[in-house]
Each structure stands twice: as C-alpha cells, then as structure tokens.
Amino acid sequence: MAQARTARRVARAQKVDVRKKAQRERPVLRGVFWREVALGIVCIEIAIFILSFDPSVLNVFDLTKASFTHALAWALLGALVVIALGDGIRIPASPLFVAFFAVIATEVITTFTAENQYVALYGEVGRYLGLTTHAVLALIAVAIAVSIDYPRRAPWLAWTVGIGATLAGLYAIQQATGHDPVQWVDFDPRIRPFSSFGNADFYGQFLAVVATACAAVLVFARQRLWLTAVVVLLAVLNVALMLVVQTRGSFLGIAAGAVVIAALWLRRAGLSRRALTRFGLASAVALLALVVTLVATPLGSRLLDIGRGIGLRDRVLLYDSAFRIFLDHPFLGVGFENFAVAYPRYQQAEWFGIAGMNTTNTSAHDWILHVAATTGAVGLIANFALLAAFAFHAWRRARDPDAAAVIVALAAVAAFYGGGLVLPGAQSIQWIPWVCVGVALASELRSARVVAAIPPLRLPALLRLLIVVGFASVAFGQLGSLQANRAAKGAEAALGGTNAARAVDLARTATTIDPGRAVYWNDLGRALELVPDLSGARVAYRQATTRSPYTPAFWWNLGRMELEFAKQNELGARDAAYESMRRAIAADPQNPDTFDRFARMQIALGDYRGAIESEQQAIAFFPTIPGYYTVASEAARQLRDTDAAIEFLRRGIVATDSNDLRIALARRLIEATRLPEAREVLRQILAKEPTNAAALDLQKQVGTQ
C-alpha cells in the first residue's frame, strides 16, 4: 500500500512538472509562431514588389506595388507589436544599428524640412518612394532582424527571391518572344523585356542583384547537390536575361558585387598560395567573360557606345543639375524625395533638345547624387555610415561558419548600389537594400549591446490575435489610391475619345478619393474645358498648381483659363494670366515652351512688345523651333515694324532651314511690295519642294519675273 501511495505521489508530481514545463514553454512557442508569421508577411511583401502589376490603372507597376505593400504592412506592424509586447522591447546599440536609426531619422527630418511635404511623405507620381514607402521598408528590415533567428530562417528570404526571380524571368521570356498577353502602348517588350518591373533598367538591375547573390551562395554556402544545381540554373537564367535586357547599369552591379565577393572570399580563405592561385584563375575567367560580353552581346554594344560618347550628354546635364541642387541645399538637401520638385529650376535648355520638349526627371539617376540633392550632407553621411557598418560587420563575421547569409546580403547590396550609380530607384527594386540590411541586423542582433529594455507582458492568445487583426483591418483603407488611379485612367481615355461628360465624372471620382495628387485635378480641368465649364476648369487648375507648383504645364493651363476670362474683361483676370505664366517661368526658368506660350498669350491681349521679348527669350534657349520665329514676326507685324517682322523670319530660316518660315517670309515680302525678294524666296522653296502648294499659289500671284 505504501509503495502504491508513493507511486501515485510521484506520478502526480511528474504531471505537475510537465504542466509547469508546458506553461513555461508556451510563450516561447507563441513567440516563434508570431516570428514566423512576421517573416511570412515579409516574404509576401517581397513577392508583391517583384511580381505585382495591374494594367487596369494608370500607373500600372509602381502604384500597384506601393498600394498592396503598404496595406500588408499594417498586418506586419501588428505582428511586430505582438512580438514586442510578448518578448519585451530591446533597443540594441552597435555601429550598424546606430547607422540604421540615423538613416531613418534623416529621412524623417528631411520630410519635415522638404519644400513639398506631400511629395516627401507619399512620393512623386510614378515612383511613390516617399516616407510612407520607406517606413514600410524599414518595417520589413526590422521584421527580418527579429524573425529570421539568424541564420536559421534566412532561406525563407532566399526561396522567396529565387521563386520571384524565376517567375519574373519566365514572363520576360514570354515578352521577348512576342507572347505577352498584355498589349503595351508605350513600350515594345520584345526589344528590351521589362517583365513585371515596368522598366527594362529596373529589371536589369534586379537581374544583376540576383545573379550576384547566386554567385555568393555558390562561393560561401554549403548545400546539397540538388540545391547547388538550382542556384546554378537561376544564375544562368538571370545572366542570360541580363544580356537580353541590355541594362548598362547591370554591368556595374555585377562588377561591384564581384569585388565584394572576391574581398570576402580572400578574407575567409586567407592569403595562402593555394587561395591566391584560385583567386587568379577566377579573375582570369571573369576577365574572359567580360571580353565575351563586350564583343558578342547586345549589352556589350551598349557598353561600348559609352566609350564613343553615345548617350552620355543627357546624363552629364542631369548630374550637373543634381549637383547644383546639392550645392544650393548642402546641409539637409531640398527635402526627402523632392528631387522632382527642385529639378525643373535647375534644368538646362539643352536638355530639351536631347530628351524632348517638356520632359523632366524624378531622380538623379545616381543614388549618391540623389541622396545628396534630397537629404544633403546629413543624408550622405548617414547612408555611407550604414554601408560602412554593414561592410565592417560582414568583414568581421566572414570567417564564422554561419556567415554565408550576411555575405550574400552584402554582395547583393553592392550589386544594387553599383547599378544604382547610373540608374533611378523604383518600387520594384528599392526593397533590396532594406532586406539585405535586415539580414545584417539579424546577424548583429545576436551580440549587440542593449541600451534599453522594456520587460515582456503576458498576453492571452486571443488578445494577440485581436491586435494583429486590428492592425490588419487598416489595410482596407490603403487601396483607395488604386481606385483613384483607375478612375484617372478612365478619365484620360474619355478625354482622348472626346467624351467630356464621362471624363468629368471619372476625374471627379479621382480627386474625391485621392485629392492630394495634382495630376488628377489637372485632368479634371481638362475635362471641364470640354464641357465647357471654364469657371470649374479654372478652379481645378488652381488646385493642381497649389499641389504641384513646380510643374509648368499646370500653370500653362491655369494661364489659358485666365486668358479666356481676360478676353471677357473680367477684373483681375489679365493680371492673373500674367502671374500664372510668370510662375511657370519661375518653376522652370529655361523651358523655352513657357516663353512661347506666354508670347502667344501676350499677342492675344495686345501686348506685342511683351510678346517679342518672350519669344526672343525662347529663341535664345532653343533656336531651332520655327514657331518661335513665326510668333515673334507676327508680334512685330502688329506693331507695323515690317523690317523687324522680316528679320525674325530670316533668322529663323538660317537656324532651322524651314520652308514654313520661307512661306511666311514670302508673304511678308509681298505685303511690303518687295516682290523680287519674294520671288527669290519662292524659288528656294520650290527647289526643295517642287510640289509645295502654298509656294505655287504665291508664285501665281507675283509671277516668276
């Protein structure tokens, strides 16, 4: 009996111990679960950045990626809040973490100091890389740092990127072979496929990053044979596509990544004779690959064009503008993501002759100059400090058995920023450095000193779930921008089809859902002009210029409306029209089109001397547009200055060799009864165009003798 009682007591004690152990382990299991949830959300975010696009909206690629990743970020934030409350909050302090915090702080500060805070917060149309996007990217980096349990779950990220790259590659092959199910209006993807990235340059930069990461995995990671084969196939696919896509920046990315891989391999292998021999052989193979690339591939042809100076002048002008922005705003820059806001003021007239009239830039096409122009010296220091801390951490850890993940991340970052020396950023690629930094933070988190800590809270499982669901529910309010953009696309289509009523309805929908975007208000103004509702159009254009005062076209449209009311003798409309054009000139001082439009307005209002001054300025900036001389000549004619009217046309003929100007000159000479000169001009026209109807008609009037 005694033995039986003892056995029962022991059994009860064991049950109690098991129950207590389970209670102790349950929070740990819950912590692991929510970490895996957070990392799973990160993987979905990466897949969205790579693969998502929506042809039904106006901004097919970047806005789609931004909208869905911003929405999903709320669920990620909820998971991180649960992890922080359940496990406690620790603030690490190491050079890498401090530099990471400094970059985020700099972006926040320069958002507040930006010329246009709306653009700083939400990004410019077409990029959407404002502070909201960078907050999502920083959240992704933090989530990776706390969830991958370095290096245990690092393969989650690798598999996500690898599968995404494979699917994007298959779509690129489909485009290159002419089997794209989407009919693109502005691009022919058969020439340079852009896959799900929307731009061949962005896709080329991504290919270089993936190829570099694959090379780093093959060099540093020990894995099974079948995994090695998979990585090799992915590398070959991406290199082959990189040669087809022909992005010159991808070559710089591969070169930068190769330098990092070589340096860390020597660090890991040592400087023994055997290691140096292997390094020499690898360098010879790389040199041979470079020669083959330059000689035998389309990418090589584009690279060799650089040596011949082809396609360089536009970059020189753009870099000059970016550098001058930095010089004028050296400390904090013009404001986070405000390059598009400041650039028109620094744009050269020569740019329009190379890239086309009224083109602009939202990026410096060089990440260093872009950071310098938008966040100043403070931003440059913070970003370089982060890269230096990242590199130092990878160098210090290079000989560790588990260093492969952080080395691969550093090689990928090098490839990204190498290509970024000549390429702009975009939603489809800007996540890359943040994910890589997240991996480095995860590696550093294991040994970083903690300077502050908040103890954990014991939360019921239901409460944890409610927290995540509560945050995730905010996501439904993040998709309005897509609805507005879809309406804007419909409005533009209706404008093209002259369906004014439908255009007005859709444009109003866009401005109601997303009232912050100036382009939607401009579309509404254009639609209202067609109704016609000129008063409403003027109000819409005023809204557009209020939101985007750096866009000359919006001021042109407002000025045109004010002109209509000035013709009706509305008090103050004439001054308002002039002010609109002066604001357009201030926004883009070397845009000749603005001066030409101002001159045409001045002629309509009887200000002929002002029109001559405006056209003379347009001609000084861009002397090869025949219309500028025609307008100047007409203004002089209205002033009854025949000699000046004729002289403008003669100057234009010398600059443009335009027969249209010769026709105008012949008419002016006939009006001035200078018939011999008129006949000579007509003979010149007919020598170039024997069937020119206008010249033949004038010749009948004045004869050939």
Q: What is the DSSP string of 634-694?
A: HHHHHTT-HHHHHHHHHHHHHHH--HHHHHHHHHHHHHTT-HHHHHHHHHHHHHH-TT-HH
Q: CA-to-CA distance for 626 and 447, rounded, in angstroms?
A: 69
List beta partners, residue 453: 90
| Residue reference for tokens 């912590």 | 31
Structure confidence at residue 212 (pLDDT): 94
Q: CA-to-CA distance for 161 and 438, rounded, in angstroms?
A: 15
Structure confidence at residue 20 (pLDDT): 44
Of the candidates 697, 657, 658, 703, the one whose C-alpha atom is nearest the C-alpha of residue 680 is 703
* Residue 134 maps to a domain: yes
Structure confidence at residue 306 (pLDDT): 63
Q: CA-to-CA distance for 628 and 607, rounded, in angstroms?
A: 16
Structure confidence at residue 248 (pLDDT): 84
* Residue 486 maps to a domain: no
* Residue 674 maps to a domain: no
Structure confidence at residue 297 (pLDDT): 67
Residues of the chain with pLDDT under 70: 1-31, 272, 275-276, 278-279, 282-283, 285-286, 288-311, 452, 704-705
* Residue 567 maps to a domain: no
Structure confidence at residue 28 (pLDDT): 39
Element holding 452 (H helix, E strand): strand 449-454
Long-range contacts of 4-10 (CB under 8 A, 24+ apart): none
* Residue 36 maps to a domain: yes
Structure confidence at residue 27 (pLDDT): 38
Q: CA-to-CA distance for 444 and 489, rounded, in angstroms?
A: 46
Looking at residue 448, what DSSP letter applies?
P
Angular region, 450: left φ>0, alpha ψ -120 to 50, beta rest: beta
* Residue 520 maps to a domain: no
pLDDT one-digit tens code per residue, 153-185:
999 999 999 999 999 999 999 999 999 999 888
Range of the domain at 119: 13-473
List beta partners, residue 449: 93
Are 367 and 425 in contact by the 8 Å Cβ rule? The answer is yes
Structure confidence at residue 601 (pLDDT): 96
| 365 φ, ψ (degrees, to nearest 5) | 60, 30
**pTM of the predicted model as reported, rounded to 2 decimal places:** 0.90
* Residue 198 maps to a domain: yes
Return the CA Rg of the chain. Answer: 32
Give the number of domains in the chain.
1
For residue 109, give the 3-state DSSP assignment. Answer: helix
| Residue reference for tokens 């933070």 | 441
| Residue reference for tokens 């190829």 | 211
Q: Determine the angle formed by the axes of helices 248-269 and 367-397, rounding to 10 degrees.
A: 20
Of the candidates 588, 587, 594, the one whose C-alpha atom is nearest the C-alpha of residue 560 is 594
Report which residue type is found at 285.
V
Please count the other Cβ atoms lying within 10 Å of the Cβ belonging to residue 676. 10
* Residue 87 maps to a domain: yes
List beta partners, residue 92: 450
